[in-house]
Chain A
Amino acid sequence: MRVRPHTARRMLLIGVGPRLAGAALIVIALWAGFFWATSTPGGL
Chain B
Amino acid sequence: MWEALIQPFAEFGFMRRAMLGCIAISAGATPVGVFLMLRRMSLTGDAMAHAILPGAAVGYLVAGLSLGAMTVGGLIAGMAVALLSGFVTRVTALREDASLAAFYLISLSLGVLIVSTRGSNIDLMHVLFGTVLALDNSALILLCSITSLTLIALALLFRPLVLECADPQFLRAVSGLSAVTHFTFLALVVINLVSGFHALGTLMAVGIMIVPAAAARFWAVSIGGLICAAVAIAIISSGCGLLISYHFGLPSGPAIILVAGLAYGLSLTLGPIGSLAAPILPRRHVEA
Contacts and interface: CB of A to CB of B under 8 A. Distances in A.
A23 B159 contact: no
Interface in A3-36: 5, 8-9, 11-16, 19-20, 22-24, 26-27, 30-31, 33-34, 36
A12 B13 contact: no
B155 interface: yes
Contact of B155 (A16, A33, A37): A16
Contact of A34 (B12, B144, B160, B175): B144
B184 to A, nearest CB: 13
Contacts of A42: 11-14, 16
Nearest to B136: A44
Q: Mostly helix, strand, loop or mixed at chain B's interface?
A: helix
Contacts, number: 83
B11 to A, nearest CB: 6
Q: Mostly helix, strand, loop or mixed at chain A's interface?
A: helix
A15 B174 CA distance: 18
B136 to A, nearest CB: 5
Given A26-B151, A44-B17, A37 B140 contact: yes
Contacts of B140: 34, 37-38
Nearest to A8: B174
Interface residues of B, number: 32
A26 to B, nearest CB: 6
A34 B20 contact: yes
Interface residues of A, number: 28
A34 B151 CA distance: 16
Given A20-B156, A23-B151, A42-B13, A34 B141 contact: yes
Contacts of A13: 159
A12 B159 CA distance: 5
A26 B159 contact: no
A22 B152 CA distance: 9
A14 B162 CA distance: 13
A13 B175 CA distance: 12
B137 A38 contact: yes
Contacts of B177: 9, 12
A30 to B, nearest CB: 5
B273 interface: no
B158 interface: yes
Given A30-B148, A44-B136, A19 B13 contact: no
Nearest to B152: A23
B155 A22 contact: yes
Interface of B: 11-14, 16-17, 19-20, 23-24, 27, 134, 136-137, 140-141, 144, 147-148, 151-152, 154-156, 158-160, 163, 174-177
Given A5-B175, A27-B151, 8 more contacts: A15-B158, A20-B152, A22-B155, A27-B147, A36-B16, A37-B140, A44-B14, A44-B134
